[in-house]
A and B are shown apart, each in its own frame.
Chain A
Amino acid sequence: MRILVILLASLAAAGCAVDTASPARVAERFHALITANQEEAACGMLARKTAQRLPSRGQTCADALRELRLGPGGVVTSVSVWGDEAQVRLAGDTIFLHRFSDGWRVRAAGCMPVPDLPYDCEVDD
C-alpha cells in the first residue's frame, strides 16, 4: 500500500511539475530582440510555419517583422503550459508558443483577445 501511495504521488508530482520558465524566457527574449532591432534573430525563434507565413512576396521574415512594429513586451504576468502548447502573457503582449524537439518556438505574437473567439494576432501560423 505504501509503495502504491509513493508511486501515485511520484506520478502526480511528475505530471504537475510543468516547466513554465522556458516558454517565458523564449517570449521575453523574442520581444527583447525586436526591441533591439534584431528582427532576423527574432525570426529564428519563430515556428517554421509562422516564419513561412509572415513575409509578403519579395520580403524577408525580418522585413515583415520590422514592418509590424510590435510594441515592447514588458514583464511576464502569467504563463500557461498544456502539453506542447504555451501561452505567455506579457504586460504589453500575449504570445503563443509550441514545444518542438529543439525547444519552445513562437507560433503567434502581437495577440489581442477577442471575446469568445481566438486571439487576433499580428504574427500567427
Chain B
Amino acid sequence: MRWLKENSLALAFLIMFLFAVAGQAVAGTLEFNDQQRADGAEPVSVLQYVASSAFAVNVAENWQSEYLQFFLFVVLTVWLVQKGSPESKKLDSIGAESDHQQQIGAHATTQSPSWAKVKGLRLWLYSNSLGLVMGLLFLLSWLAQSVAGQAAYNSERLSDLRDPVTWGAYVTSPEFWDRSLQNWQSELLAVLSMVVLSIYLRQRGSPESKPVGASHLATGVEG
C-alpha cells in the first residue's frame, strides 16, 4: 500500500497510457476498416491493425514529438531562463553550475549515485544522461516514424495506383514533414503555455506551480 502511494504518479500515468494506447488501437481499427470496406478490401482484426505500419506511424509520430519536447525542455533550461516562471531556474544560475551545487566529484555525498562520485567520461555521461536519453528516444522514435511512415505511405500510394517511393524520397516528402511538424508545433505551444502561464497562474499544492501567494516575479520557485 505504501509502495503504491510512493509511486502513485508514475503508476497513474502508466495506467492512463495503457488505456489510451488500447483505445487508440480499437478506434484506429474501426477507422481503418471503414476505409478498407470503402476500398473493397477486407476488414482486419485489432491485432492485425496493431502490427500494421498504419498504427506504428501514428504511435511513433506522437512519441517522437513528446521526446523532442522533453529533450529541448531539459537541455534548453540549462541555459535559457524565464523571469517569474517556476519552470525556469533562478536568473543567476544560468549554465551547468558548480561541482558543489551539483554534488559531484569531491562534493558528492554518501547518498550520491556512484557515477556522480567519479571523474571523466562516466561523470560527463551521467551529468547529461537525462538529456541524452530523451534525445536518443526522440531520434529512435523519429526513425521509427520514418520507416513505418514509408511503409504506410507506399501502401496508400499503391492503393491509389501510384509508384512507391524510396526512404530518402519519403523523409524529404511533404507527408513526412507534415506529420512531424504538426506534432512539433503542438508540443512547443504546450511548453510555451506552461512556461508563461505559470508566471501568473497557480495550482495549489502542485510542484509544477509556484505557491499561491508567491510573487509573479519569483523565478525558479516551486510549491
Question: Measuring CB to CB, which residues of chain A are less than 8 angstroms from any residue of chain B?
Answer: 47-49, 80, 82-87, 96, 98, 100-101, 107-108, 111, 113, 117-119, 121, 124-125
Contact = CB atoms under 8 A, between A and B. Distances in A.
Interface string B19-61: 0000000000000000000011110000000001110000000
Nearest to B36: A84
A118 B40 contact: no
Contacts of B157: 82
Contacts of A85: 154-155, 158-159
Interface string B147-162: 0000110110111111
A87 B163 contact: yes
Contact of A118 (B53, B54, B161): B161
A83 B42 contact: no
Nearest to A120: B161
5 contacts: A49-B40, A80-B158, A85-B154, A100-B42, A118-B161
B164 interface: yes
Given A82-B151, A86-B158, 4 more contacts: A49-B40, A84-B155, A100-B42, A101-B42
B145 to A, nearest CB: 15
Nearest to B159: A85
A68 B95 CA distance: 74
Contacts of B41: 84, 98, 100
Nearest to B148: A15
Contacts of B151: 82-83
Given A47-B40, A101-B42, A96 B161 contact: yes
A48 B158 CA distance: 18
A111 B154 CA distance: 18
Nearest to A86: B158
Given A83-B155, A125-B40, A118 B52 contact: no
| SS class, residues of chain A in contact with chain B | strand
Contacts of B52: 83
B152 A118 contact: no
B154 A82 contact: yes
Among A47, A84, A100, the one with the most B-chain Cβ atoms within 10 Å of its Cβ is: A84
Contacts of B53: 82-83
Contacts of A80: 154, 158, 163-164
Contacts of A101: 42
A96 B40 CA distance: 14
7 tightest A-B CB contacts, nearest first: A49-B40, A85-B158, A83-B155, A82-B154, A118-B161, A82-B155, A119-B161
Contacts of A119: 161-162
Among A48, A82, A119, the one with the most B-chain Cβ atoms within 10 Å of its Cβ is: A82
B130 to A, nearest CB: 22
Contacts of B162: 117-119
A86 B164 CA distance: 10
Contacts of A49: 39-40
A87 B158 contact: yes
A30 B54 CA distance: 30
